[in-house]
Amino acid sequence: MFNDRSTPLSLLQTRRSGKPRDLIAPGPDDAELRQILEVALRTPDHGKIAPWRFVIVPQNKRHALAGLLERAYRAEKPDAGRLEVESMHQFAHQAPTLVVALSSPVPGSKIPVWEQQLSAGAAIMNLLHATHALGYAGGWLTGWPSFNGDVRDAFGQAHETIAGFIFIGTPAKPLEERPRPEYDDIVSTWDR
Ligand SMILES: Cc1cc2nc3c(=O)[nH]c(=O)nc-3n(C[C@H](O)[C@H](O)[C@H](O)COP(=O)(O)O)c2cc1C
């Protein structure tokens, strides 16, 4: 069983993302989405500088997002084929709810940028945990749109980076496990 909400520990032990293309309605309502994002704000952050931001892309803006992605893609790849362009539209229309998460390092801060970026990743993980705690599934994608300057400019400023497109909804089909690392390959005890 995935995303078993019977206890906090079981939820963490069974956490599984959804594939954004398989996420359908219902997604969180406005109050639930606010709860999810408020959980993301409770993330470890050296210096209390909140080096992350979240931009909600509502359903009535998905068409505009698809247009943005298409224009940006064609500008970068003038020879783009029909399927490539269609994949941009498919990307923009996935799942009922979409939040764009930005790593937003504070200019001039004495906190190393690396630490600020780590905090952005942790904030997204918290966002996903809150999503699953409410009974939905989330999926974290970067893909081509996260690394294009025109797309970044549409969501943030030059010093910011799109850390992910976070899609949220209800899985249309049963979740499946993916390979997980072996404990002993990852965990060791320091003995020098
Ligand atoms: C920073 C980041 C970017 C990701 N981008 C993509 C992506 O563009 N496409 C993709 O298929 N999976 C991507 N993933 C992987 C999925 O979000 C997801 O983590 C993966 O399916 C593992 O599922 P799990 O959350 O159940 O462990 C990304 C993960 C991270 C952490």
Sign of the alpha-carbon torsion through 169, 151, 55, 14: positive
181 Cα to the center of ligand 1, angstroms: 15
pLDDT range class, residue 172, cuts 50, 70, 90: very high
- From CA 25, how far away is CA 189, in angstroms rounded? 45
What pLDDT, in 10s, does the model give residues 112-168? 999 999 999 999 999 999 999 999 999 999 999 999 999 999 999 999 999 999 999
Per DSSP, 25 falls in state S
Q: Is 3 domain-assigned?
A: no
Q: Is 180 domain-assigned?
A: no
Sign of the alpha-carbon torsion through 10, 181, 39, 176: negative
pLDDT of residue 82: 96
pLDDT range class, residue 8, cuts 50, 70, 90: very high
- From CA 160, how far away is CA 105, in angstroms rounded? 7
CB 21 within 8 A of CB 173: no
pLDDT range class, residue 23, cuts 50, 70, 90: very high
Give the chain's domain count.
1
In terms of residue numbers, what domain contains 165?
Answer: 23-77+92-173
Q: Is 101 domain-assigned?
A: yes
User: If you average pLDDT over residues 68-96, what whole number do you get?
Assistant: 97
User: If you average pLDDT over residues 33-56, what whole number do you get?
Assistant: 98
What's the CATH number where 120 sits?
3.40.109.10
Which amino acids bring their CB within 6 angstroms of ligand 1? 16-17, 139-143, 164, 178
User: If you average pLDDT over residues 84-91, what whole number do you get?
Assistant: 98
CB atoms within 10 A of CB 92: 21
- From CA 180, how far away is CA 169, in angstroms rounded? 24
Q: Say which amino acid occupies 85.
A: V
Q: Is 160 domain-assigned?
A: yes
pLDDT of residue 57: 98
pTM of the model: 0.97
20 Cα to the center of ligand 1, angstroms: 10
Confirm whether residue 53 is marked as ligand binding.
no
pLDDT of residue 142: 98
Cis amide bond preceding 112, omega within 30? no
| Shortest-distance atom of ligand 1 to CA 175 | 26
75 Cα to the center of ligand 1, angstroms: 26
Enumerate residues 6+ apart whose C-beta is below 8 A from 91: 66, 69, 141, 143, 145, 165
Q: Is 186 domain-assigned?
A: no
Q: What residue's CA is closest to ligand 1, atom 4?
A: 141
Q: Is 15 domain-assigned?
A: no
pLDDT range class, residue 177, cuts 50, 70, 90: very high
Q: Is 67 domain-assigned?
A: yes
| Shortest-distance atom of ligand 1 to CA 180 | 27
Q: Is 10 domain-assigned?
A: no
**Averaged pLDDT of the chain:** 98
